[in-house]
Structure formats: structure tokens, C-alpha cells
Amino acid sequence: MSSVGRVINVLAALLVSAAVLALFAVGYGPVPALGRALVPGHGAWASAPGGQPIHSQTLSLPGLAHPVSVAFTSHGVASVRAADEADAYLALGYLHARFRLTEMDLERRLGEGRIAQLAGPAGLSSDRFELRLGLLRTAQAEWAATPRTSPAAQVLIAYSRGVNDYLAQARRTGQWPSLFGLTGVYPTPWTPTDSLVLQGVLTQELDYTTTPLDYAILARTLGPHHTMAWFPLLAPGRGTPYDPGPYKYHGLAPIAPQSTTAFTRAAGRAASPPPTSQAQASGGGAAAERPAGGEPAAMAAGLVPGPAAKGPVPGPAARVASLSDPSSSRASGTTAATTADDRQRAEAPVSGPGSSSNPITAHVATAAAAMLAQANALPAGLIHEYPDSNAWAANGPKVSGAKSMLAGDPHLPQTVPSIWYQVALSAPGLSVTGVSVPGLPGVLIGHNAHIAWSLTDTQNQATLFYTERTSKTRPGQYFWRGAWRRMRQVHYTIPVRGGPAVHLTVNITVHGPVMTQAGQTTSVDWMGNIPSPDISVIIGVTHARDFAQFHAALADWRAPSQNFVYADDRGNIGAISAGYYPLVRHGDPWLPMPGTGADDVAGVIPYASVPQVYDPPGHVVATANQRPVGPSYPYYIGTSANFFDPGYRAGEIYASLRGQRGMHPASFAAIQLSLTDRLAQQIVPRLLAALRGAHLSAQQQEAAALLHGWDATMAQHSAAAPLWWTFWGDYLDAVFRPWWKAAKVPVHKDPPGLAISPQNQFSLDQVLASWTTGDPANSAFSPPGGPHRTAPEVMRAAFATAVAHLAATLHGAPSSWAWGRIHSRQFPSVTQADALGYGPRASGADSWTVNAADGGLVSHQGPSWRMIVAWAGHGTATGESVYPGGQSENPASPWYEDQMADWWDGRYLALPPAGGYPAGQVRWSLRP
Amino acid sequence: MADLRRLGKRGSYRLGRLGGPRPAPSAPPAPHYPSFAPHHRGPIGLWLLACLAGVVIVAAGALAGWWFLPFLAGLAGGLIAHYGRWRLRVSLPAVMLIAAAGWGGALWSLVRGGLPEGAVAREIAALAGLPASSAVAIAVTLLVAVIQAAVGLWLGRALAPGYGLR
């Protein structure tokens, strides 16, 4: 080789060596630092010790005041015994981090808009959304407003210290979970604000809805007439309210004020400036401007009552009766005659029913579509889509061998690891057992020495959208209460893995953050943006000894609104739907409303008037996300469209409870595991009646025979179950698709909210069931411009279509079909890595069964925790529970999914007593 | 001398050859005798021992977190190959083997220590978006070591050019 060639060779070798070493040392773009990440024993491989079965040992935890012992059951359920509460919560923080650090950090990143730092540009849409929405701003405001000497602050500080003790240990040993070792992006120290952000994420999952945006698009396309007829305020039927009344109207309660300094400090911005100019219209002005604390949305309602803050807010019945669109009244059970027709929708702007001041213009629809696109780009489960959970209690003659019993099974997105971490805590004054949420201190569902409680989502409308009036000549301003106001701006820099950081500016109006400026500047007033002292409330509930204390503790709960079901050792039962129910004086809150001031949130339902019962005469109380009150309830709490469960689960629970006396825990377990589809019970006889005498093929006859002998059980091996499901979907499709098609409903803009599919559009399910049983000649059965049809005719056609569908899918004779052949459950991993999840696995159940499976044919939401508590006497409870998954997030751990089989097969494990077990197979001694 | 039968035909004449002096007869090429006699310096046993030491060092370094040791092993291999007159066809597989065996041995020692490396390997593959198999993650891990060693060898041989490319 010549000398020149030799030099070139050396240079090339040096260059390539440097490039390879640099790539392996620091990574490039989305490629991680492979050398650091994959060196055996370190990087991603370092998680192996965390997957080993744990053993008894002594650990040093700085921050502890006294020694703490932790005993583990064979399933890894920890019993923490501490000398004071702060130590107990510090130990809980350590346990959460030890077993769920990846889950905690991912949730924190999600809420704080830092997913892109880990996942690269793919995470940007989520980060932008969350930073706009403002979970971080709200958490910062809440923490700033929390007195440091308060119990909640003490608990949050102790908990954070426990998490950080584990982070320090991981930093010292390098034994991080694989995700961090692989990416090289490690968790930052935990702060109380992080816990409050996680509280916000949970609130968002349970409370943030986009239904008003879907209403806007439907009103724009279907027209207000059909929109409110098919998505009415009150669903047809009597419903199954757990609080049947009588109700009292107590006026409006102000929204609690909060710190005005936290947000300003966090954002580094001054408070909203005064109006930049006064418009000729009166009614506003600088004095009415909202403060800058927390999220401004809805806050001023408490501080600055709106101009019409007197007089009753009409309840649903009154509002429906006042609607200009009589069809909605009909669907809601009122008696007005139909006068509107579809020509209305050809006119622009389209007015929403009941308010001529609420135009759904093309711009509003464009903005709605833009916001729906944002929402659909989010990870699954972040927008509240499905009703969640069952909880009921019984006492008196309804139970045997116990003074009262309580059952709870919250239905949440089912992931591996689970959202829950089971634990029992014991300290002087503290004795509790149940499930906690990793990242949050406290036991959210469980029991203490005297009371037991479980939660279901209330489902009331907590998200309101406002179309802001803006002007091209006044950039950065909006018109509110007679004056032009300057939007406040918050600037963020989003770190992006493998790319340059992205800057984001969030504009904030008096209603809340501006979510889009496409078409029409639209902001959101979401109750989750109001700091809610949930930690403080949970501490209060944990210490409550009776219903009075339980009731008092829940008074401060704001979001997410929840039905707290209660049973105690004295034999009392009850339920309270705690939380904020926003109310407006004017306008239609189920649609985007004008943001000029008149339609602002004027207050919330006073705590004394929220749905609640105590020791009901029937000795049972049950919530399954159904509308908790009857039609005479004097306040607006939401519409039928995705805000409330149709009540099939609640109906089944009530039917089971009322039909029995002397129930045992096994009786409750049977209800929790029930696969009866109450809608099928209602509709299948009508279908069979429609088929009677009709000309059916041999295959159709065989299929109909299956339905004849069917008990409406959505069992995995049922041959009739897939027939029912498919029929119902085809029936919905046959009735509504012609209307959707004629109106050009842009389903693609939000398939979850606009598509016609079974158990997705709850309103359509309910109105169609109502027409089928009570109004078979409803005009909706006749397609626009098509021949006249009745329910039986459409049912026959849908049945034929369903049989053909199943024959093409499952083949063979109908008797060989099985629900489990087309329906499965899937438990995705929180890391989004498919192989780390569980399933899909053939399964029974559907959305209307008490043992629910939400999400369609591949269900990903259902009972995330099953618990039954029986109070035998004073301070004496026996409990059983199970959840799908396991205590550890480490796939190598024996506790990764060790409870899955028990959950799947309907078995329960013993729930540790309040305060936990004094000893276990494995025991940790935690020393200061 | 010209072939008289080709006179007048295309390609029959070579300018400068007809009248020029005869070229001197060149020596016949040396016959090739295949041989298994070693061309390297030093006893093979010592070299094998050095390789084994390399494996141990790379493995121990891995467990200590020194992920770059396979590169240094390759670099050293390149430099030593110059002294030892090792051809590329020998030195390249050797350093790659040292790197792979070093990291593989480190993983093996962890498994022997009771750590669930198989499950972790599957997790790593799944998180990386690869087929969720333990073998895939282990293969990628060893590949990272092997690439380092190969690049190191190149640099070593470039700095100390030696005994041919074969």
C-alpha cells in the first residue's frame, strides 16, 4: 500500500471508529446509545435484579423517623407498619417506585408533556395537547396553594421522599428498569407536584370528554332536530337512579377560589392585563376579569358571579321542555309535537336547540374537528370514552352473616401493569387496606377499621368548550364581557429525543386554555383544571369512622366527580356523587358555547344537592355509571351521549340485589361476574317476534333457533352471543347509516364519537331500543328519501345481514359459532410494547354485562379491581379481592401477572385486613 | 519469428518486434507448494491464551460497565497482529470471537448468578420494537460487541500495517 493509501486508511479507520464509538456512547437520533444500553449487567440488562423474587432484608431509607416493617404476601401485597403516618407514606412511596417506577414516570411524563423526550417526535402530539390542557399548571397551582403544614402536604412530601429514596438507590446501583437503561433517559427526582400531575392524568382519563365537539359536528350535519332526537338530554325510559329523590334546589355554589400566585410564578408571566379597550356593550370590565391562579377557566364563577347568577338553573326536564326542537322532547319523554324538519340543517349557522345564541357555524365545526383530531392522536384511554365501574352495597335483610356488605369493581383501561398497586397501611390513627395508584399517596378504594368504600365515575359533564370571539385586527386578544382582553401566554420548550426541542405557546382566556385556532379560536373550561384537594379528601376518607365523617371528608372533592359507595361496621350503607357539576345560566353546555361571557360557568351544584343516599329503604344502593338521579332532578348534569351509562349494568345489579335476601360475599361475586346482557334480554324477544312467519333460509332458521333458547348470557362459548352482537350492530347500522350518509357526517374525524357501532354510541343504543319496544313506526326507521319501514322490517333485514356476516367470518353451522371466536380481551403494556402486554385472549362479556368488556371486539377496558367487603361487626371485616396483573411491572418478576389467572377465572384472593398482616413470607425492615 | 502462414492477415504484425532484440528469457514462476507451516511468530498456545485473557477482560469489563472494551480488544488485536504476523483472515475472526465470547460470557455469568436474563432479554427486544424473543436481544447485544471489535481491529491494523490483507 502506498503511503498515501496508508494515510487514507488510517484516517478512514479513525473516522469510522469515532463514529461507531460516538454512536454507541451517546446514540444518534432515535437510536439509543447501544454500547451503554446493551453492555451486559448494565443499561437495559440492569433490570434483572428487580425481577428476582424479593427476600427478607434490611434497607436504609433516609427520611424515616422510625423503623418501618413491610410484610409481603405470596402475591407481593405489602403490609406496611409504621410508627407514624409520614413514615407509612414514605414507605408507600418507596414501594411504588420499587415496583412501578416505569409506570409512574410514564404517567408523569404524559401529564407534564415530556413524552417526546423519551419517545421522540412520535410523542409530540401528546405533549402539545397536555401542555395546552394544563395538568402541570394546575398541579403547580395546587401545590403552591397547599399549606406546607397541612396533612396533605406532609403526606405528599413524605411520599416523594420515599420515591426519591428508591431513585437514589437505583442511581447508586444502576439497577433501573429496562426502559430507562435502554433509552438512557432516567427519571428525575419526584416532587409533590408530580403526584398532583398524576392526579390530573387520572382526572383527565375519567372526566375529560370531547362530546360537545361531536355534538357540534352532528348538529352541523344531521341538524339540531335529529341530533337532539337521537342524542337527547335525557335518555328514554325511567332509568335506574340510585338517588330517586325527592330533590331540593339549593341554588348554585361558587367554585372555590384558589391561589392567584402559583400560576403566575410557574409560568413566569404576569396576571391577565385589564381590558385593552372597552366595547360599547356593557356587562363586563376590568373588575370582572378572572384572576390568574391555577387555570382561569371557571374560577371566576366563584369570585365574580355572572350577571344572571340568581334564580334556578333549569334541570333537564325543564330544559328539554324549553327546547325549540320538539323531537328531542319526544325522545326524552316529553309531549311536544314535532314541527322542525331537516331543512333546518341546510341553513347556516345552525342553532343548537334551546338557544338561538349558540351558532354552530362551519368555523365552529372546523375547530371541533381539529380538536377531535388532537384527541384522537393521544394514547388510548386519555379521553374519557367509556362508562366505568360498578359499586353497590346492601344491608339489613339483604345480607346474611354481616351487618353490611360492599362490592366494587372499577372499570378502567386494562393495562399491564395494572393501574392499581395493592397495599395495607398501618400507623397510629391509620389502618387501611385496598388499592393505591402508583404515584399517588393513599388508598383510593378499600376499607379501614370501620368503613369501606368504592368508586364509580359519575359521568356528569365536566368539559365545556367556548368559541372565543377574536379579531384579525386584535391579535392575541379575545372579546369577553364587553371588552377586548389580552390572552395570557405560557411558553414551553418540549425536549425531543433525537431532534431539536420544540417550542409551544399556549394562549389562555378567561375560560381556559385555547385548544385550537383552526377555524374558530376555541378554549376549554374543564373541571379538572380546577385544583382539587383529592389527596386531602382521601386522607379524610381513610380516617373516617362513620357516614358523617365520610360525608364531610368528601365535601371538598372537585374532580373527577365520583360516586363514592359506602358501607360500615354498624350496618349503614350510602352513596355520594361528590365533585363539581358546572352550571351555566345561558346556552347549551353540550355544544361549544360563545365565549363572550353570557354562557360562562356560573357555579356548581351545592354539595347538599349532589346525588346522595344514606340507608335507602330498599337496603341496597348501586351505581354503574348510570344517571344517578331521576328526571325531576333540578340541575343539569349532562346528556345521554356518552355522559351516562345506559343503565343496563345498573338494572341488572338492582334486579339481582332486589331479587335476593340474605346475601353472602359469594352472592356479590356472582353479580360481579355476571355476563347477562340486559339489552339483549329486552330486544331478542322482539327480534324473534319479527322473525316469526318470515321466510328464512335454513341457516337463518338455525340461527333464530339459537336465540330462542338463549339466556342473554355473553359467555365465551355461547353461539347465540355473537349473533346478538352482530345483529345489534347491523340493526343500528341499518337504521342510522342512511341518515349519516345523507347528512355526510364526517365519521373519519372522530370515529369513537361519530361512528355508528354497537356499544359505542350509548344514545343510539338507547333510542333504538326505545323505538323497538315502544315506537316501532318511528320515522327514523324510514331512510331519507327511501320507502317507509318499521322496526320489524328493519330487524328482519338486519338479522339476515348478521347471519351472512357471521357465516362469512366464522363459517360452519351457526351452532358452531362462539362469542369467544370474535371477542377477546387485551391488556396492553403501559410501555406500548405489544409483547409485554397480555392477550388478546378469547373472552366473554360485553359493555352491558356487569362483568364488562368495553372497546368492541378486542376489549381493553373492564374490571380493573374486584373487591367485596363484609362487615361482621364493630371493626370486623372480611374482604376478598383480585385484579388482573400483578404487583410488579418487571416482566421478569414472578409478580408481573400472577393474579391474572385468578382474575380471569373469577377467583378472589383474601384482602389483607385493615392495617395489613403483621407478618409475611418475606419481610423488609426499613431503617432511618 | 513470424508465422509465415499468418502473413498478410489482420493482427499478424507487432510493431517493434520484428526487428528488435529478443527479450531476455524470464525465470519460470516459482512453483506453489501448499504448506501448513505457521507464518506467525510465537507458539500458538500462547496466542490462544492471550485470546482467552481477552475474553475474560472483555467479560469483566462488561460487568464493570466498560462497554467499550470490545473496541479496545479489537484495537489491540490489530496492533498485535502486526507483531505476530497474523493475517486478517485470522485476526478478524479472533477479535470478533473475543468480543462475542466476552459479552456472552458476562451474560452467562449473570444467568448463573440467578438473574432472569432471558426474561429481561425478551423485554429489551419488545421495548426496542424487535421481535420479542430473548435470542434477538442477545444477538443484538453480541453484535454491538462484535462491531466494536471489528472497527477496533481496522484501526489497529491501519496504525500498524502489517501482514497483508488476506
**Is B126–A834 a contact, with Cβ atoms under 8 angstroms apart?**
yes
**Is A52–B65 a contact, with Cβ atoms under 8 angstroms apart?**
no
| Chain B residues touching A41 at Cβ < 8 A | 62-63, 65, 106, 110
- Closest chain B residue to the Cα of A45, Cα to Cα: B120
Q: What gap in Å lies between CA A438 and CA B53, rounded to an integer?
A: 47
Q: What gap in Å lies between CA A513 and CA A487, rounded to an integer?
A: 9
| Chain B residues touching A9 at Cβ < 8 A | 158, 161
Rounded to a whole number, what is the distance in Å from the CA of A832 to chain B's nearest CA?
Answer: 8
The pLDDT-based confidence of B13 (bands split at 50, 70, 90) is low
- DSSP string across A793-809: HHHHHHHHHHHHHHHHH
| Chain A residues touching B73 at Cβ < 8 A | none
Q: What gap in Å lies between CA A689 and CA A364, rounded to an integer?
A: 45
Q: What gap in Å lies between CA B103 and CA B164, rounded to an integer?
A: 29
- In A749-845, DSSP assigns E strands to 824-827, 838-842
| Paired residues of A869 in beta bridges | A406, A879
Select from A43, A52, A182 the Cβ nearest to the Cβ of B114: A52
Under 8 Å CB-to-CB from A246, ≥6 apart: which residues? Answer: A632
Reported residue count of chain B is 166
**Confidence (pLDDT) at A374:** 86
Rounded to a whole number, what is the distance in Å from the CA of A891 to chain B's nearest CA?
Answer: 7
Q: What gap in Å lies between CA A178 and CA A186, rounded to an integer?
A: 10
Query: Which letter does DSSP use for residue A829 in this model?
Result: B
Contact A191, A567 (CB under 8 A): no
Q: Which uninterrupted H or E stretch holds A393? A: strand A390-395
Candidates A24, A55, A105, A897: best to mutate against B (most CBs of B within 10 A) is: A24
Candidates A3, A20, A832, A834: best to mutate against B (most CBs of B within 10 A) is: A20
**Is B115–A6 a contact, with Cβ atoms under 8 angstroms apart?**
no
Cα end-to-end distance, chain A, whole Å: 68
**Number of H helices and number of E strands within chain B?**
5, 0
Q: Which uninterrupted H or E stretch holds A603? A: strand A601-604
**Is B115–A836 a contact, with Cβ atoms under 8 angstroms apart?**
no
**Confidence (pLDDT) at B81:** 85
Size of interface A-B (CB pairs under 8 A): 128
Contacts 24+ apart (CB under 8 A), A694-697: A694/A796, A697/A803
Rounded to a whole number, what is the distance in Å from the CA of A176 to chain B's nearest CA?
Answer: 12
How many CA within 13 A on the CB side of residue A669? 16
- Closest chain B residue to the Cα of A179, Cα to Cα: B127
| Chain A residues touching B58 at Cβ < 8 A | none
Contact A650, A658 (CB under 8 A): no
Sheet containing strand A483-486, strands side by side: A277-278, A483-486, A477-480
**pLDDT tens digits, residue range B119-151?**
999 999 999 999 999 999 999 999 999 999 999
Comparing CA positions, the residue from A485, A454, A448, A491 lying closest to residue A470 is A485
Select from B107, B129, B161 the Cβ nearest to the Cβ of A1: B161
**Is A9–B106 a contact, with Cβ atoms under 8 angstroms apart?**
no
Rounded to a whole number, what is the distance in Å from the CA of A163 to chain B's nearest CA?
Answer: 23
Comparing CA positions, the residue from A525, A529, A466, A491 lying closest to residue A295 is A529
- Closest chain B residue to the Cα of A894, Cα to Cα: B116
Helical spans, DSSP H, in A248-405? 262-267, 299-303, 316-322, 326-331, 362-376
| Paired residues of A573 in beta bridges | A567
Q: What gap in Å lies between CA A72 and CA A917, rounded to an integer?
A: 8
* Cis before A863? omega within 30: no
Residues of chain A with pLDDT under 50: 259-273, 277-357
Q: What gap in Å lies between CA A483 and CA A597, rounded to an integer?
A: 10
The pLDDT-based confidence of B87 (bands split at 50, 70, 90) is confident
Select from A9, A21, A39 the Cβ nearest to the Cβ of B65: A39
Q: What gap in Å lies between CA B112 and CA A881, rounded to an integer?
A: 37
Under 8 Å CB-to-CB from B115, ≥6 apart: which residues? Answer: A48, A49, A51, A52
Centroid of chain to Cα A785:
40
Comparing CA positions, the residue from A517, A530, A479, A470 lying closest to residue A291 is A530
**Is B161–A836 a contact, with Cβ atoms under 8 angstroms apart?**
no
**Least confident range of A651-660, B12-21, B30-39:** B12-21
| Chain B residues touching A174 at Cβ < 8 A | 65
Report the b/e string of B49-64 with b at 16+ CB within 10 A. ebbeebbebbbebbbe
Report the b/e string of A504-517 with b at 16+ CB within 10 A. bebbbbbbbbbbbe
Query: Which letter does DSSP use for residue A306 in this model?
Result: -
Contact A198, A108 (CB under 8 A): yes
Distances in Å between the alpha carbon of B26 and those of A126, A845, B18? Answer: 80, 93, 20
Comparing CA positions, the residue from A639, A720, A734 lying closest to residue A684 is A720
| Chain A residues touching B63 at Cβ < 8 A | 40-41
**Is B127–A179 a contact, with Cβ atoms under 8 angstroms apart?**
yes
| Chain A residues touching B122 at Cβ < 8 A | 835, 891
Report the b/e string of B140-166 with b at 16+ CB within 10 A. bbbebbbbbbbbbbbbbbbbeebbeee
Select from A20, A174, A836 the Cβ nearest to the Cβ of B151: A20
Select from A1, A36, A52 the Cβ nearest to the Cβ of B116: A52
Q: What gap in Å lies between CA A180 and CA B152, rounded to an integer?
A: 28
| Chain B residues touching A178 at Cβ < 8 A | 120, 123-124, 127
**Number of H helices and number of E strands within chain A?**
28, 35
Residue B82 pLDDT more than 90?
Answer: no
**Is B127–A17 a contact, with Cβ atoms under 8 angstroms apart?**
no
- DSSP string across A104-137: HHHHHHHHHT-SHHHHGGGGHHHHHHHHHHTHHH
Select from B65, B127, B158 the Cβ nearest to the Cβ of A13: B158
**Is A892–B67 a contact, with Cβ atoms under 8 angstroms apart?**
no
Under 8 Å CB-to-CB from B151, ≥6 apart: which residues? Answer: A13, A16, A17, A20, B71, B74
**Confidence (pLDDT) at A855:** 87
**Is B127–A42 a contact, with Cβ atoms under 8 angstroms apart?**
no
Instruction: Provide residues of B within 8 Å CB-CB of chain A.
Output: 62-63, 65-68, 71, 103, 106-107, 110, 114-117, 119-120, 122-129, 132, 140-141, 144, 147-148, 151-152, 154-155, 157-159, 161
**Confidence (pLDDT) at A289:** 33
**Is B115–A52 a contact, with Cβ atoms under 8 angstroms apart?**
yes
Contact A47, A893 (CB under 8 A): no
Select from A16, A48, A834 the Cβ nearest to the Cβ of B120: A48
**pLDDT tens digits, residue range A627-678?**
999 999 999 999 998 789 999 999 999 999 998 999 999 999 999 999 999 9
Under 8 Å CB-to-CB from B68, ≥6 apart: which residues? Answer: A21, A24, A25, A35, B148
**A31 shares contact with chain B (CB less than 8 Å):** no
Contact A66, A922 (CB under 8 A): no
Select from A16, A39, A178 the Cβ nearest to the Cβ of B120: A178
**Confidence (pLDDT) at B18:** 54
**A176 shares contact with chain B (CB less than 8 Å):** no
| Chain B residues touching A49 at Cβ < 8 A | 115
Opening angle at CA B16, ends B12 and B18, nearest 5: 60
Rounded to a whole number, what is the distance in Å from the CA of B44 to chain A's nearest CA?
Answer: 28
Comparing CA positions, the residue from A48, A20, A49, A46 lying closest to residue A35 is A20
Under 8 Å CB-to-CB from A85, ≥6 apart: which residues? Answer: A151, A154, A155, A158, A427, A428, A429, A430
Computed over its alpha carbons, how large is the radius of gyration of chain A?
A: 28
**Is A35–B144 a contact, with Cβ atoms under 8 angstroms apart?**
yes
**A781 shares contact with chain B (CB less than 8 Å):** no
Opening angle at CA A664, ends A658 and A666, nearest 5: 100
Sheet containing strand A463-467, strands side by side: A514-516, A522-526, A463-467, A593-594
Q: What gap in Å lies between CA A565 and CA A570, rounded to an integer?
A: 15
Which ipTM was obtained for this model?
0.85
**A21 shares contact with chain B (CB less than 8 Å):** yes
Rounded to a whole number, what is the distance in Å from the CA of B95 to chain A's nearest CA?
Answer: 15
